[in-house]
Amino acid sequence: MPGTIDPAAALQHSLLSRLKLRQLTLLQAVDRHRSLVRVADQMQLSQPAITKALHEVEDIFGSRLFDRTSRGLVPTAAGEAALHCAKRWLAELEATTRVLTSLEAGRSGRIRLGLTQQVPQQLMASALTHLLDRSPRISVMVREGTTDELVASLVAREIDCAIGRSYDGDASGLIQQAIYEQEPCLVVGAKNVKRLSRGALDWVRLAQLDWILPPPNTPMRRTYNAIFVGAGVQPPMPILETTSLRSIETVLRHEPNAVTIFARDVMLDMERSCDWAALPYRLSWNLPPVSFFTLKEVEVHPTVQSLRRAVNETAQRMMKSAR
């Protein structure tokens, strides 16, 4: 009808014309502290001033963003959406300042790369060498984490691309490309290999050992649980849940019945420096493929494109040499 106002257009106009960066910073501070008193202390303002500022932000968004409860300020559904917006905008701003300071220092730019700890050494070396050997030099930031953590960092605009396991969750704008298949193997302390490798592969017996597994709700933990269930065995309760190589190596060295699953090529990379070894069993399944991740709006960036090509080429050479 003539004269009808589109609510979404009206809200967009309010955000574009009234919202300021300091108000996004305020939202982030409220989310972090959940207390106006602590936010006031952090921002060195009075509590009434913070209360007034929060009311102004809620007026701009046209919704109540936080419920006042006995446990402090709790985001409403609208508040969660506003916080997601604030985090993304502030992350983009931080990334832009880093790029600009990198350019001022004579670099050709900056890229933020995420890696899981089970990326093969050769693939990781290829990625870092490709980036660091560029001329003019580029500034590189590397963050390690599980695939879930790296995808969350991508969506939050905290990193530009990542190499990890294939991701089976839902993430808006995520682009992933499988680049490398890895064979799994059972890994134990080197001194325990002979004792723990007696007999045929038996998942019932293996389930009774002291397992080291990735944290719950990670892609690899879901994969391992499915393997046990497929073998008709209840997934074991692990003695350690971690992706930390140092923690895994320590427990394998000191616990006589400790066992975990690793990519065979990564295990071989680590075998010389860590006191662990693979059991002589061939598993009948592959790990989720190593994949290259980025976001739709970032995939056309020349540095991201050239890095993906370099990593792909290395992965193809690795697979050919493994045949």
Identify the CA nearest to 174 among candidates 139, 147, 198: 147
Neighbours of 314 (CB within 10 A): 21
* Residue closest to 219 by CA, chosen among 145, 146, 295: 146
CB 142 within 8 A of CB 127: no
How many angstroms separate the CA atoms of 182 and 292, rounded? 14
Q: How confident is the model at residue 169 (pLDDT cuts 50, 70, 90)?
A: confident
Q: Kindly state whether residues 272 and 307 are assigned to the same domain.
A: no
State the pLDDT at residue 105. Answer: 57
Burial of 276 (0-12, 13-18, 19+ CB in 10 A): buried
Question: Where residue 151 falls among pLDDT bands split at 50, 70, 90?
Answer: very high
Instruction: Answer yes or no: do 193 and 270 share one domain.
Output: yes
CA distance 257 to 48: 60
Return the closest-CA partner of residue 202 out of 259, 250, 252.
259
pLDDT tens per residue across span 184-208: 999 999 999 999 999 999 999 999 9
Task: Report the candidate in 319, 294, 321 with the shortest Cα–Cα distance to residue 307.
Answer: 294
- Residues 152-157: what's their mean pLDDT? 88
Q: Residue range 3-14: average pLDDT? A: 76
C-alpha 304/C-alpha 83 separation (Å) is: 28
**Structure confidence at residue 220 (pLDDT):** 86
Which neighbouring-strand residues pair with 293? 162, 176
Claim to verify: residue 132 and residue 55 sit in the same structural domain: no
> What DSSP string runs through 117-135?
TTS-HHHHHHHHHHHHT-S
**59/175 same-domain check:** no
Average pLDDT, the chain: 87
Joined tokens for residue 160:
């530009």
**100 within domain boundaries:** no
Instruction: Please indicate, yes or no, whether residues 161 and 211 belong to a single structural domain of this protein.
Output: no
**Cα 200 to Cα 198: distance, rounded to the nearest angstrom:** 7
Mean local confidence (pLDDT), 68-95: 83
Q: How far apart are CA 175 and CA 292, in angstroms?
A: 8
Tell me if 1 is assigned to some domain. Answer: no
Q: Measured in Å, how far apart are the chain's first and last C-alpha atoms?
A: 67
Dihedral sign computed on CA atoms, order 109, 112, 117, 122: negative
Q: What share of the chain is helix, strand, coil (3-state, %, to 5)?
A: 50, 20, 30
Strand, coil or helix: 27: helix
Picking from 128, 120, 131, the residue whose alpha carbon sits closest to that of residue 164 is: 120
In the structure encoding, which two tokens stand for residue 195, read together?
A: 């004792």
Measured CA to CA, the distance from residue 80 to residue 116 in angstroms comes to 28
Predicted pLDDT at 138: 82
Q: Which helix (H) or strand (E) holds 161?
A: strand 161-165
Mean pLDDT confidence for 253-268: 92
Indicate the residue type of 41: D
Supply the pLDDT for residue 261: 95
The answer as to whether 160 is a domain residue is: yes
Please report, for the domain that includes residue 296, its CATH number. Answer: 3.40.190.10
Same domain, 193 and 257: yes
**What pLDDT, on a 0 to 100 scale, did the predictor assign at position 314?**
94
Same domain, 265 and 133: no
Q: How far apart are CA 86 and CA 29, in angstroms?
A: 11
Say yes or no: 173 and 259 in one domain: no
Q: Which domain holds residue 170?
A: 106-181+289-322
Confidence of residue 128 (pLDDT cuts 50, 70, 90): very high
Question: How large is the average pLDDT for residues 179-184?
Answer: 92
Q: What is the pLDDT of residues 275-316, one digit of tens each?
A: 899 999 999 888 889 999 999 888 888 888 999 999 999 999
Averaged pLDDT for residues 252-269: 92
Residue 106: its pLDDT value, please? 54
Q: Is residue 301 part of a domain?
A: yes
155 located within any domain: yes
pLDDT at position 217 is 79
The residue with greater pLDDT, 89 or 240, is: 240
In the chain, the number of structural domains is 3
CATH number at residue 239: 3.40.190.290
Averaged pLDDT for residues 139-166: 90
Q: Which residues contact 255 (CB under 8 A, 6 or more apart)?
A: 189, 210, 239
Task: Look at residue 254 in the predicted model and tell me its pLDDT.
Answer: 93
pTM of the model: 0.68
